[in-house]
C-alpha cells in the first residue's frame, strides 16, 4: 500500500497536538509524516513559558520528545524552516535546501509578536516574549539592569511585566489605550486591575504612545507623545501577535484582509489539500490566540484526514487567569456590545473586587462577565454562558458575596450533558459521567480516562464537583479511605493500632488491609507507629516503610544528593558550634545556607558521606533537626527579655524548652512553632502551628497557623497561661492532632475540618470534655521519654550504617552526581555542564 505523504509545517503547541492526536489513531499507518520545525527543539508549553523564569527548565516545558516522534514513526526536522510551497508540484522547500513532496499539507506556523515600528525598536536591548530563546535573551539583559519596560498592557504584556519583576527589575507597563487588557475587560474592570497592579509595585502608564527609543548614556530613553520620557535598561514589546502567514502568502493561498490564512469549517484553506490550524488560521475573520481553539482545529483536521467529518465553528475565548497575583476573568461579551444588553455591577473598593455580568434584553441569559480581584464565580458563570442556562430569578446573587447560605449555587447537576467541562481537551460533562459510570471512582482515574484537567488545569475544581456529584448520584460513598490497601481513614487506623497494640505494618496489613501497601499507606502507618510506640525508624520492620527522606534521615535534593540540617533549638547557637558547622561544610564541600527556620542547612552531601558528617556534628554536640520528618521542625524565637528593651518574658528559654520537649514527635504533617517575647511578635508566632506570645502575666497561646501554600493566621486559644498550663495545653492539642488528623494534614486544615472548630478544641483541651486529657498527656510523656537522636543511634549501629552505601558492591562514588561552583560555593551541575549525565547505552 502506498502511504499518503503528510507534511506538517510548524511544531508549536497546536502542531504537536495534531501529531499526538494522529498518533493515537489506527489510521496513523496510512500516512508518511514529516514535520518541519523552525525552532531548535520540538514543541514546548508556551502557555507556561513564564515558568521558565520561575525555575522550570526547557525540559520541564517540553511537550514533544524526539524519541516519542521516532516511536510514532514521524520524521522530525528540527531547526529547519520551510521557505516555499510549490502548490503545482506539491512540494515544499526548506532552508536547508531539502525538498519534499506532499499529498496533504498542514500549516501550523503560529504567530509572531508584533513590534510597532517606533524608531529605535531594533536596539539590542529591545525584546519580544514568545520563545525560550527570547526569555534567555531577556534574562541575560536583566543582569545588572535596574528597570524594564513592557510596551503593551494586554494579557501577555502583564505576564511579561511580572517576569521582569521576578528578575528583580523595577517594572513598568506602557499602554497606548486608556486601559489595561482592553480586549477582555471593560473600563471599570480595567481601572481596578490597574490600581491593584500598581499596588504591587508595577508602574502603569496608560494612554501613552511611544514615539522614539534612543540610547542615552548606555541606557534607553523612551520618548512619549506630549514630551514625557522614561529611562530604562531594557524594553519588551508585547503589542499583540500577527499570524505567521508569509508562506501561505507567497503560495497565493487566500488570506484575510489583515492577514491570517483563511480556513473553512473543516480547517481547509483555499487549496483543498492544505489545512491550517492554530494561531496562523483565520476563521470567520477571527484569529484564535489561545490553545484550546487551536487544539479543536487540530482534532478536526485529524478527523478530516481520517475521512470523518467534524466542523470547527469558532470557539469561546473566555479566560481566567492570575496576573501578578491578581485574579482576572473575562467571559463572552465582556463589553456588553450586544443590543439590549443590561449590566449588573458589583464593586467592593475596600477589598478591590469588581464583578460585572452582562445579560441579554430578557435578563434570562448571560452574555458575558468581567471579574477582577476574585474569580471564584468564574466557573459557574461560564457554565451559564456556554450552555445558555436560564439565570435564576435574582441573577445579581451570582456575583454578590454570599450572605449566609443565600447564594444559589449552580450545582454540577444542573449542567446539561453537553456542557464542556474541560476546554483544553474538549471534554463534556457527559463524557465524565460516562467515565464514572464505567467504573472510574477518583479524580485521577477520570483524568486518565478522559484527559480532562490535564491541560491548563483550570477546570479541576469543576471536574471534581461533577465527579463527586455523579458518585453521590450512583449511591457511592465519596471515598475517604487511606488508599487501595486500607479501607479506613487515618484516624480509624490510628485507633486500631492503638487499641490492638499493633507494632508492625505487616501485622496491620494482615489484620485490616489487603495487598502489599503503597507509598501512601506505608509512610502513614510508619508515622502512626512512631507516634504511638516511638521505635527507631530504622528498626528492621520499619525500614521499607519510609519515604527516602526518612529512610536516610536527610532531604534528597534534585540531583540525588542530600541536605543536612542539625537542630539549633530556638535559633540560639554558640560561636564554637557555628565554627564546627563551617568546618564540616568546608571539609565535605557543602553549600551552606541560613534557612527560614533560624538554622543552617548544609546541602550536597553524598549518601555515603552522611554518616561521617553526622559523626562530626554529633561529636560537637549537635542533634538531628528532623528536617526530613513529618515531625517538629523548628521553634523560632526572638531574643526576648534578656536583651530586648521591650521583652516581657524570656522567649528564648521557653523556645528551647518546647523545642527540646517536642523534638522527635512524629505527626501527620510537619509542625512549626514560635515564641515571641512581647506583642511586637518578632518571631511570627501567629503563622505557626503552635505560637506562643509573652504577656505581662504569662503566655498567650495561638494555634493552627500556617505559612506555605495556603497561609492561615493562628487562632488565639488561651491567654495569660503560666508555664505549666501552657505545656499541658500544647501536649493535649498536639496529641489530639496526632490522633485525629488525616494523612498529610497540617494543623490549619485539621482545625478547619474539625467539627465544632476552635470551641470544640477548647472544650476537649481546656474542659476535658471527652475525658481523655490525662491519656493524651501520658501518651506525650511517653514520646518525650523515649526520645533518641536518630542519627546518634544510627552511627553507632553497623547494621544501620550499611544502608548508607551508594553501591553495596563497591566503594566507587556515583559519578552522576556532579557539582559546579557558583558564588564561591558548590551547586548541582545542570545538564550540559556535566560531561556525561545520561546512563551509557
Ligand X SMILES: Cc1cc2nc3c(=O)[nH]c(=O)nc-3n(C[C@H](O)[C@H](O)[C@H](O)COP(=O)(O)OP(=O)(O)OC[C@H]3O[C@@H](n4cnc5c(N)ncnc54)[C@H](O)[C@@H]3O)c2cc1C
Cα separation, 750 vs 741, whole angstroms: 6
- The reply to whether 747 sits near ligand SRM by the rule CB under 6 A is no
Contact 626, 664 (CB under 8 A): yes
Beta carbon nearer to ligand FES, 442 or 454: 454
Distance CA 669, CA 661 (A): 18
Asked if 331 interacts with ligand FES (CB under 6 A), we say: no
CA distances 589 to 444, 553, 578, 609, Å, are 42, 19, 16, 11
Which residue in the block uniquely carries the three cell numbers 548508607?
Answer: 804
Asked if 594 and 676 count as a contact pair (C-beta separation under 8 A), the reply is: no
Select the binding partner of residue 82 from ligand X, other proteins, ligand FES, none (C-beta < 5 to 8 A, by kind). ligand X
Residue that the C-alpha cell 529547519 belongs to: 80
- DSSP per residue, 48-115: GGGGGTTT--HHHHB-S-HHHHHHHT-EEETT--EEEEETTTTEEEETTS-EEE-SEEEE---EEE--
- Part in contact with ligand SRM (CB under 6 A); list of ranges 154-162, 305-313, 356-364, 627-635: 627-635
Location of C-alpha cell 514521524: 74
HEC assignment per residue over 301-347: HHHHHCCCCCCCCCCCCCEEEEECCEEEEEEECCCCCCCCCEEEEEE
**What is the distance between the alpha carbons of residues 457 and 422, in angstroms, rounded to a whole number?**
9
Q: How far apart are CA 757 and CA 440, in angstroms?
A: 33
C-alpha cell at 214: 534612543
Q: Which stretch binds ligand SRM (CB under 6 A): 16-24, 241-249, 280-288, 626-634?
A: 626-634
Residues 530-559, mask of contacts with ligand SRM (x by CB under 6 A):
-------------------------x----
Burial (Cβ within 10 Å: 0-12, 13-18, ≥19) of residue 814: middle
Determine if 567 is a binding residue for ligand SRM (CB under 6 A). no
| Surface-to-core class of residue 802, CB atoms within 10 Å of its CB (0-12 exposed, 13-18 middle, 19+ buried) | exposed
Q: Site residues for ligand SF4, window 676-715 (CB under 6 A)? A: 676-678, 680-682
Contact string 690-729 vs ligand SRM (x = CB under 6 A): ----------------xxxx--------------------
Residues with Cβ within 8 Å of 465's Cβ and at least 6 positions away in sequence, in order, are 411, 412
**Exposed/middle/buried for 576, CB within 10 Å: 0-12, 13-18, 19+?**
exposed
Lookup: cell for 328: 482576572
DSSP 8-state code for residue 646? S
Which residue's CB is nearer to ligand FES, number 74 or number 295?
A: 295
Which of 403, 709 has the CB closer to ligand SRM? 709
Q: For ligand X, which residue of 42, 148, 152, 294 counts as binding (CB under 6 A)?
A: 294
With CB under 5 to 8 Å by kind, the binding choice for 190 among ligand FES, ligand SRM, other proteins, none is none
**Which of 218, 239, 221, 216 is closest to 231 using CA atoms?**
221
- Does the footprint of ligand FES cover residue 435 (CB under 6 A)? no
Please state the closest distance from residue 467 (CB atom) to ligand X, in A: 24
Nearer to ligand SRM, 645 or 710 (CB): 710
What's the min distance (Å) between Cβ of 151 and ligand FES?
29
Residue in 615, 527, 604 with CA at minimum distance from that of residue 791: 615
Segment near ligand X (CB under 6 A), from 4-12, 67-75, 463-471, 800-808? 4-12
Which residues inside 623-682 make contact with ligand SF4, applying CB under 6 A? 638-640, 644, 646-647, 651, 676-678, 680-682
| Nearer CB in complex with ligand SF4: 431/700 | 700
Q: Annotate each residue in 383-402 with x if it binds ligand X (CB under 6 A) or - if it does not, as one string.
A: --------------------
CA 367 centroid distance within chain: 31
Using CB distances below 5 to 8 A depending on partner kind, what does residue 710 bind out of ligand X, other proteins, ligand SF4, none?
Answer: none
Using CB distances below 5 to 8 A depending on partner kind, what does residue 597 bind out of ligand FES, ligand X, ligand SRM, none? ligand SRM
Q: Is 455 in the site for ligand FES (CB under 6 A)?
A: yes
**Residue 456 binds to ligand FES (criterion: CB under 6 A):** yes
Contacts of 56 (CB under 8 A, 6+ apart): 48
The residue from 19, 61, 156, 685 that contacts ligand X (CB under 6 A) is: 156
Instruction: Look at the block and give the residue holding cell 486529657.
Output: 773
Which residue minimizes CB distance to ligand SRM?
708
Output the DSSP codes for 549-599.
HHHTTSEE-TTS-EEE-B--GGG---HHHHHHHHHHHHHTT-EEEE-TTSS
Identify what 838 binds: ligand SRM, ligand X, other proteins, none; CB under 5 to 8 Å per kind. Answer: other proteins
Contact status: 232 vs ligand FES (CB under 6 A): no
Q: Give the whole-angstrom CA distance, residue 560 versus residue 177.
A: 51
By CB under 6 A, is residue 318 in contact with ligand FES?
no
Closest to other proteins by CB, 480 or 514: 514
519 binds, among ligand SRM, ligand SF4, other proteins, none (CB under 5 to 8 A by kind): other proteins
Backbone angles phi, psi at 158, to 5 degrees: -70, -35
- When binding is defined by CB under 6 A, the residue of 599, 657, 663, 739 that contacts ligand SRM is 599
When asked if residue 453 is in the footprint of ligand FES (CB under 6 A), the reply is yes
At 457, phi and psi to the nearest 5?
A: 85, -5
CB of 422 to ligand FES, least distance (A): 3
Question: In the stretch 108-147, what mask flags binding to ligand X with x, by CB under 6 A?
Answer: xxxx-----------------xx-----------------
> Which of ligand SF4, ligand SRM, other proteins, none has residue 560 at its interface (CB below 5 to 8 Å by kind)?
other proteins
Q: In whole angstroms, give the CA distance from residue 501 to residue 518.
A: 22
Q: Minimum Å distance from CB 679 to ligand SF4?
A: 7
> Is 432 an interacting residue with respect to ligand X (CB under 6 A)?
no
CA distance linking residue 693 with residue 702, whole number of Å: 8
Looking at 21, 109, 327, 423, which residue binds ligand FES (CB under 6 A)? Answer: 423
Q: Which is nearer to ligand SRM, 459 or 585 (CB)?
A: 585
Residues 6+ away with beta carbon under 8 Å from 142: 148, 164, 167, 168, 169, 233, 234
CB of 105 to ligand X, least distance (A): 12
Which residues would be at the binding site for other proteins (CB under 8 A)?
59, 65, 67-68, 71, 484-485, 515-520, 522-523, 540, 543-549, 551-552, 556, 558-560, 607, 802-803, 805-812, 814-817, 831, 837-840
From the list other proteins, ligand FES, ligand SF4, none, partner contacted by residue 298 (C-beta under 5 to 8 A by kind): none
Q: For residues 441 and 472, give the distance between their C-alpha atoms in angstroms, rounded to a whole number.
A: 11
Among 458, 571, 629, 826, binds ligand FES (CB under 6 A): 458
In Å, how far are 153, 174, 230 from 206, measured between CA atoms?
8, 6, 13
Contact partner at residue 547 from ligand FES, other proteins, ligand X, none, CB < 5 to 8 Å by partner kind: other proteins
Q: Does 631 bind ligand SRM (CB under 6 A)?
A: no
Is 110 a binding residue for ligand FES by CB under 6 A? The answer is: no
- Residue 291 interacting entry, from ligand X, ligand SRM, other proteins, none, C-beta within 5 to 8 Å by type: ligand X
CA distance linking residue 764 with residue 758, whole number of Å: 10
Query: Which residues would be at the binding site for ligand SRM (CB under 6 A)?
Result: 555, 563, 565, 593, 595-597, 599, 601, 627, 633-634, 670, 672, 706-709, 746
Query: Which residues would be at the binding site for ligand FES (CB under 6 A)?
Result: 422-424, 452-459
Query: Which residues would be at the binding site for ligand X (CB under 6 A)?
Result: 9-15, 36-39, 46-47, 49-50, 81-82, 108-111, 129-130, 156, 159, 244, 247, 278-279, 289-292, 294, 321
Amino acid at each position: 500500500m502506498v502511504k499518503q505523504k503528510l507534511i506538517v509545517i510548524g511544531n508549536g503547541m497546536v502542531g504537536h497536538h495534531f501529531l499526538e492526536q494522529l498518533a493515537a489513531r489506527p489510521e496513523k499507518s496510512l500516512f508518511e509524516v514529516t514535520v518541519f520545525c523552525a525552532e531548535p527543539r520540538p514543541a514546548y508549553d508556551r502557555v507556561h513559558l513564564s515558568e521558565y523564569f520561575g525555575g522550570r527548565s526547557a525540559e520541564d516545558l517540553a511537550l514533544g520528545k524526539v524519541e516519542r516522534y521516532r516511536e510514532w514513526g514521524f520524521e522530525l526536522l528540527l531547526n529547519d524552516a520551510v521557505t516555499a510551497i510549490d502548490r503545482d508540484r506539491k512540494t515544499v522547500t526548506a532552508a536547508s535546501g531539502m525538498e519534499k513532496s506532499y499529498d496533504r499539507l498542514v500549516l501550523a506556523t503560529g504567530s509572531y509578536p508584533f513590534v510597532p515600528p517606533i524608531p529605535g525598536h531594533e536596539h539590542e536591548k529591545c525584546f519580544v516574549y514568545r520563545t525560550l530563546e527570547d526569555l534567555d535573551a531577556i534574562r541575560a539583559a536583566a543582569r545588572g539592569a535596574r528597570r524594564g519596560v513592557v510596551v503593551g498592557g494586554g494579557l501577555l504584556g502583564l505576564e511579561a511585566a511580572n517576569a521582569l519583576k521576578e528578575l528583580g527589575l523595577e517594572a513598568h507597563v506602557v499602554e497606548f489605550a486608556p486601559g489595561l487588557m482592553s480586549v477582555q475587560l471593560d473600563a471599570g474592570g480595567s481601572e481596578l486591575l490597574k490600581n491593584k497592579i500598581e499596588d504591587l509595585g508595577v508602574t502603569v502608564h496608560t494612554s501613552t504612545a511611544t514615539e522614539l527609543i534612543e540610547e542615552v548614556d548606555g541606557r534607553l530613553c523612551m520618548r512619549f507623545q506630549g514630551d514625557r520620557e522614561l529611562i530604562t535598561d531594557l524594553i519588551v514589546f508585547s503589542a499583540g501577535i500577527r499570524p505567521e502567514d508569509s508562506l501561505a502568502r507567497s503560495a497565493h493561498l487566500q488570506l484575510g484582509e489583515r492577514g491570517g490564512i483563511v480556513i473553512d469549517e473543516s480547517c481547509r484553506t483555499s487549496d483543498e489539500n492544505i489545512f491550517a490550524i492554530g494561531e496562523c488560521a483565520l476563521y470567520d475573520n477571527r484569529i484564535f490566540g489561545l490553545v484550546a481553539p487551536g487544539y479543536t482545529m487540530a482534532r478536526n483536521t485529524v478527523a478530516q484526514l481520517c475521512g470523518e467529518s467534524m466542523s470547527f465553528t469558532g470557539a469561546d475565548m473566555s479566560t481566567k487567569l492570575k496576573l501578578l497575583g491578581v485574579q482576572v476573568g473575562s467571559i463572552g461579551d465582556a463589553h456588553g456590545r450586544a443590543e439590549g444588553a443590561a449590566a449588573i455591577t458589583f464593586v467592593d473598593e475596600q477589598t478591590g473586587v469588581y464583578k460585572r455580568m452582562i445579560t441579554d434584553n430578557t435578563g434570562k441569559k448571560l452574555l458575558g462577565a468581567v471579574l477582577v480581584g476574585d474569580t471564584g464565580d468564574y466557573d459557574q458563570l461560564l457554565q451559564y454562558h456556554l450552555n445558555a442556562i436560564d439565570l435564576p430569578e435574582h441573577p445579581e446573587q451570582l456575583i454578590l458575596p454570599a450572605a449566609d447560605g443565600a447564594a444559589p449555587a449552580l450545582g454540577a447537576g444542573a449542567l446539561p450533558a453537553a456542557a464542556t467541562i474541560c476546554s483544553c481537551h474538549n471534554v463534556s460533562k457527559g463524557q465524565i459521567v460516562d467515565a464514572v459510570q464505567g467504573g472510574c471512582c477518583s479524580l485521577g482515574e477520570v483524568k486518565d480516562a478522559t484527559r480532562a484537567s490535564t491541560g491548563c488545569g483550570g477546570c479541576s475544581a469543576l471536574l471534581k464537583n461533577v465527579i463527586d456529584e455523579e458518585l453521590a448520584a450512583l449511591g457511592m460513598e465519596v471515598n475517604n479511605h487511606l488508599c487501595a490497601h486500607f479501607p479506613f481513614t487515618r484516624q480509624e487506623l490510628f485507633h486500631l493500632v492503638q487499641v490492638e497494640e499493633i507494632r508492625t505494618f505487616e501485622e496491620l496489613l494482615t489484620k485490616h488491609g489487603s495487598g502489599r501497601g503503597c507509598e501512601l499507606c506505608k509512610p502513614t502507618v510508619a508515622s502512626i507507629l512512631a507516634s504511638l510506640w516511638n521505635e527507631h525508624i530504622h528498626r528492621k520492620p520499619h525500614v521499607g516503610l519510609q519515604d527516602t527522606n526518612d529512610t536516610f534521615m536527610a532531604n534528597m535534593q534534585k540531583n540525588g544528593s542530600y541536605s543536612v540540617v542539625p537542630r539549633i533549638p530556638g535559633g540560639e547557637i554558640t560561636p564554637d558550634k557555628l565554627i564546627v558547622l563551617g568546618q564540616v561544610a568546608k571539609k565535605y564541600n557543602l553549600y551552606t545556607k541560613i534557612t527560614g527556620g533560624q538554622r543552617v542547612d548544609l546541602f550536597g552531601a553524598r549518601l555515603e558521606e552522611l554518616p561521617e558528617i553526622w559523626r562530626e556534628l554529633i561529636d560537637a554536640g549537635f542533634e538531628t533537626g528532623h528536617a526530613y520528618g513529618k515531625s517538629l521542625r523548628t521553634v523560632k524565637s526572638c531574643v526576648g527579655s534578656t536583651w530586648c528593651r521591650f521583652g516581657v518574658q524570656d522567649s528564648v528559654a521557653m523556645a528551647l524548652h518546647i523545642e527540646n520537649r517536642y523534638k522527635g514527635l512524629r505527626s501527620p504533617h510537619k509542625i512549626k512553632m514560635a515564641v515571641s517575647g512581647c506583642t511586637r511578635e518578632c518571631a511570627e508566632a501567629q503563622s505557626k502551628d503552635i505560637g506562643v506570645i509573652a504577656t505581662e502575666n504569662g503566655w498567650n497561646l495561638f494555634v493552627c497557623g500556617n505559612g506555605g501554600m495556603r497561609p492561615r493566621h493562628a487562632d488565639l486559644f488561651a491567654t495569660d497561661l503560666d508555664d505549666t498550663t501552657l505545656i499541658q495545653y500544647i501536649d493535649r492539642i498536639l496529641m489530639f492532632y496526632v490522633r485525629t488528623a488525616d494523612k498529610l494534614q497540617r494543623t490549619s486544615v485539621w482545625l478547619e475540618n474539625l467539627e465544632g472548630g476552635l470551641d470544640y478544641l477548647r472544650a476537649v483541651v481546656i474542659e476535658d470534655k471527652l475525658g481523655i486529657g490525662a491519656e493524651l498527656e501520658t501518651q506525650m510523656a511517653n514520646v518525650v521519654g523515649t526520645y533518641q537522636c536518630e542519627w546518634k543511634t544510627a552511627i553507632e549501629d553497623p547494621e544501620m550504617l550499611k544502608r548508607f552505601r551508594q553501591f553495596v558492591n563497591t566503594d566507587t562514588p556515583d559519578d552522576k552526581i556532579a557539582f559546579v561552583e557558583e558564588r564561591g560555593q558548590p551547586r548541582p551541575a545542570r545538564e550540559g555542564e556535566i560531561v556525561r549525565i545520561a546512563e551509557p547505552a
